[in-house]
Every structure is written in structure tokens, then in C-alpha cells.
């Protein structure tokens, strides 16, 4: 079973070690970093399922790092902070943070937050995949419609007749309707025999 991959980024080594110990039973901690700049580099390198980051870090804080990571990664981001100011929460949300925990972090708080963050990532990935499939199907449908129109024009077929011909020919040749439609659109002459 593939365990989700996690990168932990905090400027305090003891906190990183504590978080790693809590997580290692169920997850794979693939890397650790000590600032936001390292977080960005580690997200590029490891492509984790989840980044757990402190908000207040040197070089680049967790919110700014999240904003950059969001431009190239769909990983979830769980922010850790000693502060829960409303403005900070708002900034985190705008940056694309998935979940937010106030320190000190306990196992009872961390594990459910990690599970929710990973579930959010899974849902987002599934939604993006569904959208891509729908876009592809719409584009394929457009090509089939154009091929159908070409058959209707050249052979005075009705729309149902043209569709039936495409469907039957794709079954006869054991190719998809989209492959056949693309062939029909690029072929100068089409041989439509009565079935």
C-alpha cells in the first residue's frame, strides 16, 4: 500500500522531530526543511501529497511559500502557527492553505488534520481529473459531429444515418469513433457503402 508522502518544514528542529515521530507510523515523511525557501525546493523535488509548514520562518514565511507552491503543485498544505489571528487565517486561506493548526501540536490534533488535508487533496485531484475527462469528451464529440456533418453533406445522409454509419464502421474496424471521425475529416474521399 502506498503511504501518503509528507514534507515537514519548521525552523525548530525539535518540532520537526516531534512531528516526524507522530507521522511515521502511517505516513512517509520524505524530507524536512527549516524555512520557506527550502519548502518550495522540497515541494519541487519530492512532489509530496502534503506539506506541513510553520507560518513564522526565516527567509520566506509559510504563507508566502504556500503561494509559490500553489503555482506548480496540488499538494495539500497544513500550516502550523503559535498565533490564530483572524488576519493570519485570512491570508492563509487566500494563499491556498488546506488546513491550519495552532501550536503546540499534539498527535490527537495532528492526525485528524493530516487526514482532512489529504482527503481534500484527493477530492481536488479527482475533480480535476473529471474536468479533464469532460473537456476531452466534449472535444471528441465536436470532431464526431464535424465528421457526421461531412458525411451528411457528401452523401445526403440524415443525421441518424450518418451517426449509425460512423458507429458501425468503428465497430467493424475495431477502432474508436473518435479515431474514425478524425480519419474521415482528413480523408479527401470517403467510401460509404450501404450496410
pLDDT tens digit sequence for 83-99: 777 888 888 889 989 98
Question: Which pLDDT tens digit goes with each residue over 112-162?
Answer: 999 999 999 888 888 989 999 999 999 999 999 999 999 999 999 999 999
Q: Which strand (E) or helix (H) includes residue 30? A: strand 28-33
pLDDT of residue 173: 93
Average of pLDDT values for 19-43? 96
Question: Are residues 145 and 163 in contact, defined by beta-carbon separation less than 8 angstroms?
Answer: no
Q: What percent of the chain has pLDDT over 90?
A: 76
pLDDT of residue 83: 75
Instruction: Evaluate if residue 194 carries a pLDDT over 50.
Output: no
No. of H helices and E strands in the chain?
7, 5
Strand partners, 35: none
Residue of 118, 88, 105 lying closest to 12 (CA atoms)? 105
Question: Which pLDDT tens digit goes with each residue over 38-91?
Answer: 999 999 999 999 999 999 998 899 999 999 999 999 999 999 988 777 888 888
Task: Name the more confident of 124 and 22.
Answer: 22
pLDDT of residue 14: 94
Instruction: Evaluate if residue 195 carries a pLDDT over 60.
Output: no
Question: Are residues 101 and 79 in contact, defined by beta-carbon separation less than 8 angstroms?
Answer: yes
Q: How far apart are CA 30 and CA 46, in angstroms?
A: 7
pLDDT bracket for residue 175 (50, 70, 90)? very high
Amino acid at each position: 500500500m502506498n503511504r501518503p508522502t509528507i514534507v515537514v518544514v519548521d525552523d525548530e528542529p525539535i518540532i520537526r522531530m516531534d512531528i516526524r515521530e507522530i507521522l511515521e507510523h502511517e505516513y512517509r515523511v520524505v524530507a524536512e526543511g527549516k524555512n520557506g525557501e527550502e519548502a518550495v525546493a522540497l515541494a519541487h523535488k519530492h512532489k509530496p501529497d502534503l506539506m506541513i509548514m510553520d507560518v513564522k520562518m526565516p527567509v520566506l514565511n509559510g504563507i508566502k511559500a504556500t503561494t509559490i507552491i500553489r503555482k506548480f503543485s496540488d499538494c495539500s498544505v497544513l500550516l502550523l502557527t503559535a498565533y490564530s489571528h483572524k488576519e493570519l487565517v485570512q491570508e492563509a486561506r487566500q494563499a491556498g492553505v488546506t488546513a491550519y493548526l495552532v501550536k503546540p501540536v499534539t498527535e490527537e490534533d495532528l492526525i485528524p488534520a493530516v487526514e482532512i488535508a489529504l482527503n481534500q487533496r484527493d477530492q481536488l485531484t479527482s475533480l480535476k481529473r473529471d474536468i479533464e475527462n469532460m473537456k476531452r469528451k466534449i472535444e471528441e464529440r465536436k470532431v464526431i459531429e464535424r465528421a457526421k456533418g461531412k458525411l451528411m453533406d457528401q452523401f445526403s445522409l440524415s443525421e441518424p444515418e450518418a451517426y449509425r454509419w460512423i458507429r458501425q464502421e468503428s465497430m467493424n474496424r475495431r477502432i474508436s469513433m473518435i479515431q474514425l471521425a478524425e480519419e474521415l475529416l482528413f480523408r479527401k474521399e470517403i467510401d460509404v457503402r450501404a450496410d
